[in-house]
Structure 1
């Protein structure tokens, strides 16, 4: 998002990462678009998944617009530094990814439909970058919270790869892992593109259609 902050893409380790802090950094109290408390609490019947697709500003906007998505929030995950700041993540010394935590109603929107938005909303073949945004924080990732999500994510990856290959694209580099601890990003990052409609975000897909996702859940995606 900010060119001058891009760093090398070599991952750091727990021993070499920035130390972070014990306290969470301040963030917004309320979702600017959905007008709900911005909290880790999950209402009964809802499910959670975390996506990394590059610049989290544009990723969050993709998901808050979907019917059945109850709440979105941007933050940092899958790294080594506790409670990092944005500047620390951009330094390349935390190994955190810029992510969006999505809370959704599986009776309204299927997990497969969310996966379709994920695969088509960015280029999952670029490794530690998205377009001109370069760094470990821009890597592609699906961080699942149920075994059913894991199975669906792996199946969708395998279904999508032949279509990417036919279009001349490389192998998918998306990491598919159990959801790690999620750290909220700062207040100004939450729903950034709703607060700043002209804001830059280099998010872009491949133009290749992913052959999964039906929209309304049949209940098969619920744990």
Structure 2
């Protein structure tokens, strides 16, 4: 979304922007299916959080997937509380652009969501995704428990081998507890539904992500 020169190093607590104590306003309902972005979510449903470049196109990849109940875009894995989009774009908050996915595990597994994540972008590019350059475009899987982390690590290893066989470099995806998820501004939510001709810079590698042996389909 922005092509100007940006810092490619994450800020420190001393250099990060201060932020604000209160959440920034956002939409209440999903533009496509009218489900509530912030809940309540149906009993038994689970959440997953991914970052794979520009969150406009990333969110669309997930809301189109059977078993996904609602999606939302936001900022996470940074230092600044309740950041704005402009602050995140400055590179001085440490956040990445993320997608919150609420899904029915009876319809789609966490492993299948991780597979979709890897196949929807190039996870070998570090602090960029295509022409989108900056720390906010880094690849990440933000897990909520050890079971999710184990599945994500197993799929990452499997896909890393598949990519290496095709001549790609190592996967740079971070797999961590991302901390708070800050919902982005209203106009970013389901942006490509509101603006069907809008920008989407995401592109996969064309390499299929195998899941199976050694990967629990949780």
> RMSD value over aligned CA atoms?
1.3
Q: Which runs of 4+ in 1 moved over 6 A?
A: none
Deviation at 1:43, TM superposition (A): 2.8
TM-score (norm 1): 0.93
The alignment status of 1:206 with 2:205, answered yes or no, reads yes
Q: SS in structure 1 opposite 2:50?
A: strand
The alignment status of 1:142 with 2:141, answered yes or no, reads yes
The alignment status of 1:3 with 2:3, answered yes or no, reads yes
* Aligned ranges 1:151-162 → 2 under 5 Å: 151-162=150-161
Unaligned runs of 5+ in 2: none
Whether contact under 8 Å (2:51, 2:137) holds in the other structure is yes
The alignment status of 1:27 with 2:29, answered yes or no, reads no
- State the distance in 2 between where 1:173 and 1:23 align: 32
Deviation at 1:42, TM superposition (A): 3.6
1:186 alignment partner in structure 2: 185
**How many matched pairs?**
215
Q: SS in structure 1 opposite 2:21?
A: coil
* Aligned ranges 1:125-136 → 2 under 5 Å: 125-136=124-135
Unaligned runs of 5+ in 1: 214-218
- State the distance in 1 between where 2:181 and 2:39 align: 9
Deviation at 1:73, TM superposition (A): 0.2
Q: SS in structure 2 opposite 1:16?
A: coil
Whether contact under 8 Å (1:49, 1:179) holds in the other structure is no
- State the distance in 2 between where 1:50 and 1:220 align: 17
